[in-house]
Structure 1
Amino acid sequence: MSHQVHSFEPPERFVAGTVGEPGDRTFFLQARGGGRVISVALEKVQVQLLAEKLEELLLEANKRFGVDMPELPVLAVHDNEPLDTPVDEEFRVGTLGLAFDVDSGTVVIEAIEAGEAEVEIELDEDTDEPPVEDDDDDEDEEPDDDLDRLRVRLTPEATRAFIDRARRVVAAGRPPCPLCGQPLDPAGHLCPRHNGYHR
């Protein structure tokens, strides 16, 4: 069965969001454009890492290619809207690939369906150069051809807006325990710093 590439170059909207209550949230990347809405599920840590790596990519593009670094989005342009419904999971993300296209001055994000490989994020500052991981993963390329993908192309400004929202979505979960750092549950918290006693 051939894989599907859901391409949005550029999307009308590309955001990270969640479904469910804090402590039981499912994280999604959602792209909308051309009358289509594609939602792919991923882990909270993947959203957090994606935001961090996109920030690094913008900084590297600024340093190497002189790309203007957009300012943080003003409050008026923050996208605080919920995900478009219905949220139908197209696939679960295993690998996230990032690249900066020097010719068009855009950021390319590719979310690849989970296969046998471990979850990872590949970072490529220039699409004219192959990602560092390519040489080591030659034996894995054949199975990857059968995996679905979501590909979006964003301007640096849209990338900055995505980073800002992704960070807010991650931070909107359960607050951390001030002693151990683990998420606090409304029903109580067994803190290892208190030998398992509720606080």
Structure 2
Amino acid sequence: MATIVHGFDWPDRFVVGTVGTPGSRTFFLQARSGADLVSVAVEKEQSAALADRIDEVLDELMAEDGNPFSVPTVAPDGLADHEPLDEPVAEQFRAGAMGLGWDPSTAQIVVEAFPVLDVEAEADEDGVVEIDPPEALVVRIPVGSARAFAKRTREIVSAGRPLCPLCQTPMDPSADHVCELPDEFR
């Protein structure tokens, strides 16, 4: 079966956003071009890792002799997106594997998300397992938009519940927090 690719080569919008309240938020990657809207559920940790890795790739590209792709050090003015997710937020799939790449021919960051797969596959004689996912989200964004995406994503991730300064677990504001103190504090 061929993979259905939800492709966005120059999306009008590509963001990470949430639905729900801190402590019970669901994170989504959302891409929109015109009326075409795709929302993919992701984990908070996937969102944070994606933002960090995008900045790492952009920093590496910026460090190339003469910054040939004109990678900005920070998100350019005018690209900040503080709006909520576009409605309706309908989960296309839950992301399992994600990929990040660079297309030098278009000077774009390429973000890929693939669904969680619940299959058992057999390896070939070389030990390689090939599974075609039923669908994928593939988004290509220019370097300035990538910086703005990473910045917004970090802001969304950090907008959750505050961390306990002792045990570093999220504190629920509606309940008393009881933590397990590390040995060095006992």
The TM-score bracket by the shorter chain reads: 0.7 to 0.9
Identity, in percent, stands at 45
Deviation at 1:190, TM superposition (A): 1.7
1:32-89 Cα distance to aligned partner (Å, 9 max, x none): 0031110000100000000011111112222347332214236754211000011000
Deviates more, 1:25-34 or 1:53-62: 53-62
Residue 180 of structure 2: aligned partner: 192
CA distance in 2, matches of 1:64, 1:151: 26
Q: 1:172 aligns with which of 144, 159, 162?
A: 159
Residue 99 of structure 2: aligned partner: 97
Residue 30 of structure 1: aligned partner: 30
CA distance in 1, matches of 2:159, 2:61: 29
CA RMSD of aligned residues (A): 2.2
8 Å contact from structure 2 (residues 76, 148) kept in 1: no
Partner SS for 1:139: coil
Higher helix share: 1
**CA spacing shift, 1:178–1:105, aligned 2, 3 Å:** same
CA distance in 2, matches of 1:76, 1:159: 13
Deviation at 1:138, TM superposition (A): 7.2
Q: 1:140 aligns with which of 116, 129, 151?
A: 129
**Unaligned 5+ runs, structure 1:** 118-136
**Unaligned 5+ runs, structure 2:** 120-125
Partner SS for 1:21: coil
Structure 1 length normalisation: TM-score?
Answer: 0.80
Query: How many residue pairs align between the two structures?
Result: 174
8 Å contact from structure 1 (residues 93, 113) kept in 2: yes
CA distance in 1, matches of 2:162, 2:70: 35
CA distance in 2, matches of 1:157, 1:74: 6
**CA spacing shift, 1:85–1:71, aligned 2, 3 Å:** same
